[in-house]
Amino acid sequence: MSARAEQKMRTRRALMDAALRQLSADRGFGSLSLREVAREAGIAPTSFYRHFAELDELGLALVDEGGVALRQLMRQARKRIARNGSAINTSVETFMEYLTDNANLFRLLLRERTGLSKQFRTAIQAEIDHFVTELADDLNRFGEDQGKPLSDPRLVAEAMVTLVFNQGAEALDATPKEKEILKAKLKTELRMVLIGAQMMAREAQRQQARKN
């Protein structure tokens, strides 16, 4: 890669980081201006257009990055589970670490998931669908390996992702003590969903056996 191309990549990254730094519990992406993002990144506003056609294009790049980070999170959790064996405990702990390192990126996904921009909503939903699909595959494989099949792994994955996003939103600005309470609550909720899906699958098997 040429020095010019590397510099362009660094500037693009600086713009994305500048936008993320300006997000907070009180400020969403829609309130940012191109001028202030460029100033925060240390470039002239006119130079912004060498990297993004508009501010929304930068936002969509961040959404894509958020989706990649979530899938990387899942793969990291999968490796830890292989070592530690506790799927729910390990997954929740890994997710909370992700929140600590990517708070504003997660804020962006949360806010724009139900925001005014259809373009953002569609992009975020696509990323969540990828995440749900990967989780459903993991849950299905986990159930088969443990001899505890699940009733509708896709629906279980969707319920789990909803719980994780909801508790993640609460954890963003929580104190360390509050985060521990939220983690314990989330682990319990996820276990309830998992056990319920296992029981439903067993009941369906019993009903099928009676018919045969």
State the pLDDT at residue 208. 83
State the pLDDT at residue 1. 66
State the pLDDT at residue 4. 81
pTM of the entire predicted model: 0.85
Does the pLDDT at position 116 exceed 80?
no
Q: How far apart are CA 96 and CA 183, in angstroms?
A: 8
Q: How far apart are CA 190 and CA 103, in angstroms?
A: 22
Residue 53: phi and psi, rounded to 5, are: -70, -30
State the pLDDT at residue 205. 86
Top pLDDT among 42 and 81 is at 42
Q: How far apart are CA 156 and CA 135, in angstroms?
A: 9
Full DSSP string of 175-205: -HHHHHHHHHHHHHHHHHHHHHHHHHHHHHH
Mean pLDDT of the chain: 89
**Tokens 């829609």 found at:** 30
* pLDDT tens digits for range 150-206: 999 999 999 999 999 999 999 998 999 999 999 999 999 999 999 999 999 999 888
Q: Domains in the chain, start-ordered, CATH in brackets?
A: 1-52 (1.10.10.60), 56-211 (1.10.357.10)
Beta carbons of 48 and 36 less than 8 angstroms apart: no
| Contacts with 17 (C-beta within 8 Å, 6 or more apart), sequence order | 41
Does the pLDDT at position 125 exceed 80?
yes
Top pLDDT among 209 and 46 is at 46
* pLDDT tens digits for range 129-158: 988 998 899 888 888 888 888 999 999 999
Full DSSP string of 85-106: --HHHHHHHHHHHHHHHSHHHH
State the pLDDT at residue 53. 93
Residue type, 183: K
